[in-house]
Amino acid sequence: MATANKNLSFYDKNKIPNAKSLRFGIVVSEWNDEITEGLYNGAERALLDCGAISENIIRWNVPGSFELTFGCKKMITTTNVDAVIAIGSVIQGETKHFDFVCSGVTQGIKDLNVKFDTPVIFCVLTDNTMQQAIDRSGGKHGNKGAEAAIAAIKMVTLGK
């Protein structure tokens, strides 16, 4: 397991560029909100810890993870953000719906990264169980939201 020996919340602040002058969009799925709220809180804390100003963090909600792609596209095209973080949680069920949602949102976010010059960070948990999602949204494996925030800062400053 990729996260078995890693804390998703860990970063060395001395190696992260200061985010004071950057604007971030965060698009959050309302589905599995107990997980996505934890991820959002982790992302927001990490951005603020790295110098981002709270007024420069814009949050939009969408109904589910499948809708993240459209929400991120609208945020890129209608607001002035330097990066967007897409936050969602899809948990395996009894049908193939899980596979279609995971594939759709993954490909959609990839397509946004190809089409636009604004990085879109994939912070969508695709877990087999609710416990796995809990463990990665502030539980024993840390918080994937914090990891996504650090990736957003690094991607905005890539090549600068």
Q: Is 141 a known active-site residue?
A: no
Q: Domain with 93 in it: what CATH number? A: 3.40.50.960
Position 11 in a domain: no
The pTM is what? 0.94
Position 23 in a domain: no
- CA atoms of 100 and 90, how far apart (whole Å): 11
- pLDDT band at residue 108, thresholds of 50, 70 and 90? very high
Counting the structural domains of the chain, the total is: 1
Report pLDDT for 63: 98
- pLDDT band at residue 29, thresholds of 50, 70 and 90? very high
Quick check: 52 and 155 in contact, CB under 8 A? Answer: no
Read off the pLDDT of residues 48-89 as tens digits, 9 standing for 90 and up: 999 999 999 999 999 999 999 999 999 999 999 999 999 999
Position 130 in a domain: yes
- pLDDT band at residue 150, thresholds of 50, 70 and 90? very high
Report pLDDT for 159: 65
Position 138 in a domain: yes
Query: What is the average per-residue pLDDT within 131-147?
Result: 94
* DSSP 3-state of 140: coil
Position 144 in a domain: yes
Read off the pLDDT of residues 82-107 as tens digits, 9 standing for 90 and up: 999 999 999 998 888 888 999 999 99
Catalytic residue among 6, 13, 20, 97: 97
Report pLDDT for 75: 98
Domain that holds residue 97: 33-155
Cα→Cα distances 99→33, 72, 127, 159, Å: 20, 21, 11, 35
- pLDDT band at residue 1, thresholds of 50, 70 and 90? very low
Picking from 58, 48, 44, the residue whose alpha carbon sits closest to that of residue 123 is 44
Q: Is the pLDDT score of 5 beyond 80? A: no
Question: Which stretches does DSSP call E strand in 63-130?
Answer: 83-91, 120-127
Position 12 in a domain: no
